[in-house]
């Protein structure tokens, strides 16, 4: 790549010719402040916080959209620049609800951090302020436009990254606000509850519906048996909420914290990831060998499921009927476990800790009550962020905890279950089992490298004896749309598809810990978090779902065999052709 020579704060640097001033400064080790900028998603120069001086330019320029050129002289910090940035922050605060102490983003708010750094007077400007009612219509996402700073990062995440576009800028001038078409409530749109708008938001204008009070109430109820399972990716991200570096595995401390919260059982959702593979892999083999509906498409991601129902309803017949690992755990616990231990399912309160806001929608779907009408498989799904808040609220010193282990009888889990949280992980886990079912013998190599990595779409063809299996993996609904249209047109011929609603998979879910734009723009969070899961797989002696002895025992004692009638009654579900 061709470089150009520039001078930044009086020092000479060689930077890529296609760089912006913001990117050039980063090469020089300088982080220019931003609020609206998200790399490759939202590059619009709206917040005016990245103002810099460029010799010869008229006035200050926005670094995020201003291209470098040969010989450019740039100043990123001066009294004039600091004064302009401070003024822009004061203007943002003039129409901002400044109840920071009660805000869910207090201490993680990017606006709050910048205002502290620039010593901003929060009441410098006074006058008219817009006031908006909270949009609490969604079971997953709360929208508070009183906190919105019109950075449009949420809009970019929804439109540019996910290509859904259920929110955008309405009205003009002082009345501009983020809303849905015709001002309908979020729940009335085709929002898939993926939560990518939440992790994009720099302030407290978007956040998940907090269900932690329900969990605390259940824990305090002596008549309730309260159990929790944690999704594979939560152990790879929870540490970030307690100042660990991204990519730190905190499984042992997470389990220890949950036991101190008072749960009667603390379980690993990797177990039901293995159970899901048993059902899904056998379902694929059955369809593939008997002429069933293909391609089979995975059903673990509830955001993807709702997206399919809205935008590609014709593909709902291709979806695996398997419940997600979250729902399978609750269903199995309130049937098999309840019977085995003499518990009334009505007295069980089952919680999942997950990386996903869409799981909050999933717990209330039809077809998710295996133990009987009115008894949900999962009572409450809490995000990684909510779990962190519960730990803090209970005054548990997370970093000081000694590692503890998940409870039996569901502590045994394979490495195949662990990699569910990364894009391509479900496909690889399913192939490990499906391939051995087809071949009738162990695989020589368990890694399916072609479906690994953070690329938005991955395709591969595998020869299994005399059988050829064509697979594809997509993460992020924009990539899902591209892949499915390719399948519709006949351009792509495929037998098995994995789709995750969030780019990179669950490790990048909408319920994961907040990371500021400076981290999201410069650190590959998806890769670092996924490495934790692949490492768990690499060091695990058990790497195939169908070799999990605890899963085998559940089949022997309760379900009989994969895809049996009883398994279908408890572990499978159905879908809705919603349309737009």
Q: Delimit the domains of the chain by residue range.
A: 3-77, 126-207, 213-571
Mean pLDDT by 10 residues, the chain (580 residues): 93 96 95 96 95 95 97 97 97 95 96 97 90 97 98 98 97 96 96 98 98 98 98 98 98 98 98 97 94 96 98 97 98 98 98 98 97 96 98 98 97 96 96 91 93 96 92 98 98 97 97 96 96 97 96 97 97 93
Q: Are strands 168-170 and 141-143 parallel, antiparallel or unpaired?
A: unpaired
Query: And the tokens for 444?
Result: 């020589």
The predicted pLDDT at position 134 comes to 97
The residues, any chain, with a CB within 8 Å of residue 355's CB and separated by 6 or more, are 231, 233, 234, 237, 383, 384, 421, 506, 507, 509, 510, 511, 512
* Domain 3-77 coded CATH 3.40.50.150: no
Q: How far is CA 426 from CA 82, 456, 477, 521, in A?
A: 49, 15, 17, 27
The pTM of the full predicted model, rounded to 2 decimals, is: 0.96
Residue pair 484/318 in contact by the 8 Å Cβ criterion: no
The predicted pLDDT at position 126 comes to 86
Residue pair 442/464 in contact by the 8 Å Cβ criterion: no
Query: And the tokens for 34?
Result: 């931003």
Coil, strand or helix: which one is 352? strand
* Domain 126-207 coded CATH 3.30.70.20: yes
The residues, any chain, with a CB within 8 Å of residue 393's CB and separated by 6 or more, are 212, 216
* Domain 213-571 coded CATH 2.60.120.200: no
DSSP code of residue 52 = E
The gap between the terminal CA atoms of the chain, to the nearest Å, is 44
Instruction: Please state the φ and ψ torsions of residue 486, each to the nearest 5 degrees.
Output: -65, -35
Distance CA(154)–CA(158), nearest Å, equals: 6
Query: And the tokens for 135?
Result: 């949009």
The predicted pLDDT at position 580 comes to 76
């Amino acid at each position: 790549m061709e470089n150009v020579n520039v001078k930044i704060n009086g020092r000479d640097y060689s930077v890529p010719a296609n760089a912006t001033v913001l990117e050039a400064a980063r090469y020089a080790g300088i982080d220019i402040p931003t609020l609206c900028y998200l790399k490759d998603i939202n590059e619009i120069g709206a917040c005016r916080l990245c103002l810099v001086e460029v010799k010869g330019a008229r006035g200050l320029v926005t670094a995020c959209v201003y291209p470098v050129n040969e010989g450019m002289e740039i100043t990123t910090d001066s009294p004039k620049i600091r004064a302009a940035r401070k003024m822009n922050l004061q203007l943002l605060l003039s129409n901002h609800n400044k109840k920071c102490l009660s805000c869910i983003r207090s201490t993680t708010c990017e606006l709050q951090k910048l205002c502290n750094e620039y010593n901003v007077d929060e009441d410098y400007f006074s006058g008219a302020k817009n006031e908006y009612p909270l949009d609490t219509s969604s079971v997953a996402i709360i929208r508070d436009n009183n906190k919105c700073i019109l950075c449009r990062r949420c809009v970019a995440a929804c439109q540019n990254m996910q290509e859904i576009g259920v929110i955008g800028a309405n009205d003009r001038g002082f009345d501009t606000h983020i809303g849905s078409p015709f001002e309908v409530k979020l729940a009335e749109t085709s929002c898939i509850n993926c939560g990518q708008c939440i992790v994009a938001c720099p302030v407290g204008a978007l956040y998940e519906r907090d269900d932690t009070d329900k969990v605390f109430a259940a824990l305090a109820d002596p008549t309730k048996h309260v159990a929790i399972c944690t999704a594979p990716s939560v152990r790879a991200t929870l540490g970030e909420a307690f100042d660990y570096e991204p990519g730190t595995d905190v499984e042992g401390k997470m389990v220890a914290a949950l036991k101190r919260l008072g749960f009667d059982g603390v379980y690993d959702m990797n177990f039901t990831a293995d159970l899901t593979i048993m059902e899904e892999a056998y379902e694929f083999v059955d369809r593939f060998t008997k002429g069933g509906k293909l391609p089979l498409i995975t059903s673990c991601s509830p955001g993807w499921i709702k997206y399919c129902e809205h935008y590609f309803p014709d593909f709902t017949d291709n979806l695996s009927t398997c419940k997600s690992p979250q729902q399978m755990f609750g269903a199995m616990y309130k049937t098999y476990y309840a019977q085995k231990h003499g518990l009334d399912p009505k007295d069980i309160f089952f919680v999942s800790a997950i990386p996903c806001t869409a799981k909050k929608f999933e717990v209330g779907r039809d077809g998710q009550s295996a133990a009987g009408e009115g008894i949900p498989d999962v009572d409450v799904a809490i995000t990684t962020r909510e779990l962190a808040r519960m730990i803090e609220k209970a005054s548990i010193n997370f970093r000081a905890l000694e590692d503890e282990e998940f409870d039996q009888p569901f502590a045994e889990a394979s490495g195949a279950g662990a990699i569910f949280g990364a894009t391509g992980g479900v496909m690889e886990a399913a192939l490990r089992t499906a391939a051995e079912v087809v071949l009738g013998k162990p695989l020589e190599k368990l890694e399916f490298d072609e479906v690994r990595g953070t690329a938005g779409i991955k395709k591969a063809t595998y020869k299994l004896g005399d059988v050829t299996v064509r697979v594809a993996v997509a993460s992020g609904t924009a990539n899902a749309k591209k892949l499915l249209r390719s399948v519709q047109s006949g351009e792509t011929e495929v037998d098995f598809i994995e789709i995750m609603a969030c780019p990179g998979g669950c490790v990048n879910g909408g319920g994961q810990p907040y990371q500021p734009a400076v981290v999201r723009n410069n650190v590959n969070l998806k890769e670092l978090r996924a490495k934790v899961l692949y490492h768990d797989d690499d060091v695990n002696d058990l790497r195939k779902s169908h070799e999990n002895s605890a899963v085998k025992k559940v089949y022997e004692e309760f379900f009989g065999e994969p895809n049996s009638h009883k398994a279908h009654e408890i572990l499978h579900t159905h879908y809705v052709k919603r349309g737009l």
